[in-house]
Amino acid sequence: MKIVIHIAVIASHRIVRGPANGGGSKTTKSPPLAGSRRGGTILNLLAKREIATLRRRSELAMTIKKEFFIMMTKAEYIWVDGRKPCAKLRSKTKILSKPPQTVQDIPDWGFDGSSTEQAETKNSDCALKPVSFIPDPIRGEPHILVMCEVFNADGSVHKSNTRARLREASEKYKAHEPWFGIEQEYTLYDADGIRPYRWPAGAGFPAPQGRYYCGVGSDEVYGTPLIEAHTTACMKAGLAIAGTNAEVMPSQWEFQIGAIGAPAVADQLWFARWILYRLGDQFGISARLDPKPIAGDWNGAGAHTNFSTKAMREPGGMDVATAACKKLGERHKQHMSVYGAENDKRLTGRHETCDINTFRYGVSDRGASIRIPMATAKQGYGYIEDRRPAANMDPYKVCTALIETICGDGFTAPAEWVEITL
């Protein structure tokens, strides 16, 4: 139709040239088409209408394309790899056509397990199954971060998937309503990860400990802009972040997640770690979870895990908390086997720790394995703090161990979970 109309419009005009020696040319209308009083006018009107229709269609197509682009979502699939003795985070991006409403809307995916120490090259496919997701606070809406469990190609649980057992334990003992609050300590390093952030170059050291814990100002604490960005990002993502503070060693910090149930608390800790690492890229800072970053008279880095059950949180709960401490003592070695690699370098009996081979608990005692907070002792109910987990601990393992020991018959680590042997 468009081509026909354009030809008809042209045909309705004829060019009359002037004399050969000049005089220009002029355009005169041809006679109207047969059966039409004003053929040229009608054809011009039809042409304009067709052009307007085409323009509207083009604008509509552009609008649809723009809206489709706006709806397209970057989903960052995050999982825990198979490195030994300390697993690390991995992630990659999948583009979804629209933002998911539930975790079931997020498709399963896969990856090369031979490159993450989770498979051999000859049988390298591993599956990723989304289990939870949050808004991506770095990329912004509508993009998301997706926590995944790892499965074998045949659909069975992968041996590196420590979340699966926590899922089962949480379901089995849900009547106890266990809550967790995890205090994640970490150390900031220069971008190359060799020297703690803003420490003197070479072999030099900053002033001794004592002035840095909860310090204020750039001469006392290092890396505050990154910590502020991380805290804000965790809040935007909807994580249950409870606070942050500078720690005892310079360039060492802490944030807290909880108190919430499992496996949510463990998912959120992994999310918060991922956000910290990713933001560190933007600041030229590397965050590390070494249990003993610097040898000598410097504090280590832990992940103190606060725990309570419904019975502990009710009047008379102090007796329940004391009984829990005794049960933890009976399973001390089993717990220590999954509380973080190289934790023996941190748990020396110095720097607010109990020796790794010793178990004891006490009220307000930060040198004990388990601290019963002063508030819990005074009011007669509350929670206990397990001070043994290292900063690099796998929260899925630690939460599983606490639930199975305190709520069940006791935790025993499978061989593939063991990180240290006493």
Q: Would residue 128 count as lying in a domain?
A: yes
**DSSP string covering 26-91, please?**
EEEEPPPPTT-SSHHHHHHHHHHHHHHHHHHHHHHHHHHHHHHHHH-EEEEEEEE---SSS--EEE
pLDDT at 49: 83
> Do both 391 and 328 map to the same domain?
yes
When pLDDT is cut at 50, 70 and 90, the band that residue 64 belongs to is low
> Do both 140 and 202 map to the same domain?
no
> Do both 26 and 96 map to the same domain?
no
Kindly tell me if the per-residue pLDDT of 70 is higher than 50.
yes
Q: Two tokens at 228?
A: 């502020």
Examine the fold and report which residue of 71, 91, 118 is the final residue of a domain before the chain moves on.
71
Average pLDDT over residues 153-178: 97
Dihedral angle sign, alpha carbons of residues 145, 150, 156, 162: negative
Compute CA distances 369 → 181, 357, 404, whole Å.
16, 10, 18
> Do both 284 and 359 map to the same domain?
yes
> Do both 103 and 64 map to the same domain?
no
Count of domains observed in the chain:
3
Examine the fold and report which residue of 21, 38, 71 is the final residue of a domain before the chain moves on.
71
Beta strands in 119-199 (DSSP E): 125-135, 144-152, 179-190
* Single pTM value for the model: 0.84
pLDDT at 37: 53
User: Of residues 20 and 41, which shows the higher confidence score?
Assistant: 41
Average pLDDT over residues 154-168: 97
pLDDT at 21: 44
Kindly tell me if the per-residue pLDDT of 24 is higher than 70.
no
CA distance 36 to 259: 83
Under DSSP, the state recorded for 342 is T
Q: Would residue 422 count as lying in a domain?
A: no
User: Domain containing 39: what range?
Assistant: 2-71
When pLDDT is cut at 50, 70 and 90, the band that residue 63 belongs to is low
> Do both 179 and 296 map to the same domain?
yes
Kindly tell me if the per-residue pLDDT of 275 is higher than 70.
yes
When pLDDT is cut at 50, 70 and 90, the band that residue 147 belongs to is very high
Q: What is the CATH number of the domain that holds 93?
A: 3.10.20.70
> Do both 262 and 341 map to the same domain?
yes
CB crowding 373-411: b at 16 or more within 10 Å, else e: beebbeeebbbbbbbbbbbbbbbbbbbbbbbbbbbeeeb
Amino acid at 289: L
When pLDDT is cut at 50, 70 and 90, the band that residue 56 belongs to is confident
pLDDT at 30: 47
> Do both 54 and 77 map to the same domain?
no
When pLDDT is cut at 50, 70 and 90, the band that residue 110 belongs to is very high
Q: Mean pLDDT, the chain, as a whole number?
A: 90
> What would the pLDDT profile of 308-331 be if each residue is shown by its tens digit?
999 999 999 999 999 999 999 999
Average pLDDT over residues 189-218: 92
Average pLDDT over residues 145-173: 97
pLDDT at 68: 54
Q: Would residue 333 count as lying in a domain?
A: yes
Q: Would residue 198 count as lying in a domain?
A: yes
The contacts of residue 415 (CB under 8 Å, 6+ apart) are: none
pLDDT at 66: 55
CA distance 302 to 363: 19
Dihedral angle sign, alpha carbons of residues 211, 216, 219, 225: positive
C-alpha closest to that of 173 among 400, 329, 385, 398: 400
CA distance 7 to 148: 62
> What would the pLDDT profile of 366-396 be if each residue is shown by its tens digit?
999 999 999 999 999 999 999 999 999 999 9
Hunting for tokens 């992994």 — which residue is that? Answer: 270
Average pLDDT over residues 239-265: 97
When pLDDT is cut at 50, 70 and 90, the band that residue 69 belongs to is low
User: Of residues 69 and 265, which shows the higher confidence score?
Assistant: 265
Q: Are 381 and 313 in contact (CB under 8 A)?
A: yes
- Range from 157-161, 203-207, 295-299, 408-412 carrying the lowest mean pLDDT: 203-207
* Beta partners for residue 306, in sequence order: 181, 385
Question: Residue 319, SS3?
Answer: helix
When pLDDT is cut at 50, 70 and 90, the band that residue 13 belongs to is very low
Give CA angle at 214 (210, 219), nearest 5°: 70
Kindly tell me if the per-residue pLDDT of 215 is higher than 90.
yes
Q: What share of the chain is helix, strand, coil (3-state, %, to 5)?
A: 35, 25, 45
Q: Would residue 401 count as lying in a domain?
A: yes
Under DSSP, the state recorded for 382 is -
Q: Would residue 263 count as lying in a domain?
A: yes
> Do both 366 and 258 map to the same domain?
yes
> Do both 189 and 269 map to the same domain?
yes
Q: What is the CATH number of the domain that holds 296?
A: 3.30.590.10
Give CA angle at 239 (139, 263), nearest 5°: 120
Q: Two tokens at 235?
A: 């809040």
Question: Residue 95, SS3?
Answer: strand
> Do both 11 and 78 map to the same domain?
no
User: Of residues 45 and 102, which shows the higher confidence score?
Assistant: 102
Instruction: Report the number of secondary-structure helices (H) and strands (E) in the chain.
Output: 9, 15
pLDDT at 62: 66
When pLDDT is cut at 50, 70 and 90, the band that residue 73 belongs to is very high
> Do both 411 and 320 map to the same domain?
yes
User: Of residues 103 and 13, which shows the higher confidence score?
Assistant: 103
Examine the fold and report which residue of 16, 44, 71 is the final residue of a domain before the chain moves on.
71
- Range from 24-33, 178-187, 250-259, 268-277 carrying the lowest mean pLDDT: 24-33
Compute CA distances 145 → 198, 231, 237, 274, whole Å.
31, 16, 9, 10
